[in-house]
Amino acid sequence: MSLTILGIESSCDDTAAAVLRGTGGDVAILSNVVSSQTDLHAAFGGVVPEIAARAHAETVDLVVEEAIAAAGVSLRDLDAIAVTAGPGLIGGVLSGVMAAKGLALGLGKPLIGVNHLAGHALTPRLTDGLAFPYLLLLVSGGHCQFLRVEGPEAFVRLGGTIDDAPGEAFDKVARLLGLPQPGGPSVEKAARDGDAARFKLPRPLMDRPGCDLSFSGLKTAVLRVRDGLVETNGGLTEQDRADICASFQATVASVLAEKSRRALALGEVTAFAVAGGVAANQTLRLALETVTDLPFAAPPLALCTDNAAMIAYAGLLAFEGGRVDGMDLVARPRWPL
């Protein structure tokens, strides 16, 4: 039976709502609205939780209205309401959960709490129709893990970062070089004119078996390169910045590609996919594409970064599986898959 689902996402610095229609294997995105808070946080060099929470609370109703209107449906047409219930910044998650509860209660519709990471993990199935089980590399600002996605709510963690997430490292490198936030897109842009071979950066944990990763040492290595250049030349040129960005990006891509090879060698999967904000990076996509002969999926950029279509989709699959939540649904800052 075709279902119409509203999804709401507010776990970090984007307030988002989307409407999906279909069944698990065949879904159309009727609308996908994202209101970014990037400008609000720009002056602070990172996401400020209090500012984020206030902006989510002020924006969420408007974003939902916009998504409903853009989808050409009315609230009465909805079969269920899905909302990110964690993990994330608690103030933001609460804003979304409260808005979803209000709608569900007012309209008499089922409510489904969704794990934000499940949203990212299921996106390649939404966009490319991947069959279970597939290997997923989830790389974002807060997360970095290899998951075997076995079903809509069945995930096996095969490995992940022991310290920072790669998106965090991109953001930190941008900060070190005076480039704007979020760092991923600005580092990628600067790297276009750079020489990736100029600086040899460490490839952490490559000598350790398995598919765990580490990015904090890489960040520190970039800091040393920057300070070395400042000491000898009195500052950084545009070319220095470009070369640092290119070297850093190439190192991240090569480490993730090598660890992906190891995760794939564990077997038991029929496809390989990447998701999360860092999956928007073209150099990384190219590096990952070549690691296996299995089908490879990388969602379109707008569905890699935070969005509510992925939350609506995870909610739709959970609902089809018979899961609904009550008004006692709690917002969880931490919620491992």
For Zn ion, the binding residues (CB under 5 A) are: 140, 306
Q: From residue 51, how far is each of 22, 93, 122, 295 by CA, in Å?
A: 36, 13, 29, 41
The entry of ligand KG4, Zn ion, none near residue 280 (CB within 5 to 8 angstroms by kind) is: ligand KG4
233 is in an annotated binding site: no
The residue among 21 and 143 lying less far from ligand KG4, judged by its C-beta, is: 143
The residue among 104 and 215 lying less far from ligand KG4, judged by its C-beta, is: 215
- Could you tell me if 272 and 296 are in contact, meaning their C-beta atoms sit under 8 angstroms apart? yes
254 is in an annotated binding site: no
Cβ neighbours of residue 314 closer than 8 Å, sequence gap 6 or more: 82, 114, 115, 118, 119, 122, 152
Element housing 4 (H / E): strand 3-9
DSSP assignment of 72-92: T--GGG-SEEEEEEESS-HHH
The count of other CB atoms within 10 Å of the CB of residue 233 is: 10
143 is in an annotated binding site: no
Phi first, then psi: what are they for 138, rounded to 5°? Answer: -100, 115
Q: Tell which positions 148-177 bind ligand KG4, by CB under 6 A.
A: 167, 170-171
- Could you tell me if 145 and 276 are in contact, meaning their C-beta atoms sit under 8 angstroms apart? no
- Could you tell me if 14 and 88 are in contact, meaning their C-beta atoms sit under 8 angstroms apart? no
What is the separation of C-alpha 69 from the centre of its chain, rounded to a whole number of angstroms?
26
Q: Does 183 bind ligand KG4 (CB under 6 A)?
A: yes
Name the one range near ligand KG4 by CB under 6 A: 19-27, 31-39, 135-143, 320-328. 135-143
The residue among 4 and 140 lying less far from ligand KG4, judged by its C-beta, is: 140
CB of 46 to Zn ion, least distance (A): 16
Q: Quick one: angle between helices 309-320 and 116-128, nearest 10?
A: 90
Q: Does 184 bind ligand KG4 (CB under 6 A)?
A: yes
- Could you tell me if 106 and 75 are in contact, meaning their C-beta atoms sit under 8 angstroms apart? no
Encoded one letter per residue, x for contact with ligand KG4 by CB under 6 A and - for no contact, window 7-46 reads: -----x----------------------------------
The residue among 51 and 73 lying less far from ligand KG4, judged by its C-beta, is: 51
The residue among 160 and 184 lying less far from ligand KG4, judged by its C-beta, is: 184
The residue among 164 and 306 lying less far from Zn ion, judged by its C-beta, is: 306
- 200 closest CA partner among 215, 220, 184, 222: 222
178 is in an annotated binding site: no
Q: Tell which positions 282-321 bind ligand KG4, by CB under 6 A.
A: 305-306
CB of 208 to ligand KG4, least distance (A): 24
Residues that bind ligand KG4 (CB under 6 A): 12, 140-142, 167, 170-171, 182-185, 188, 276-278, 280-281, 305-306
Binding residues for substrate: 138-142, 171, 184, 188, 281
Annotated binding site for Fe cation: 116, 120, 306
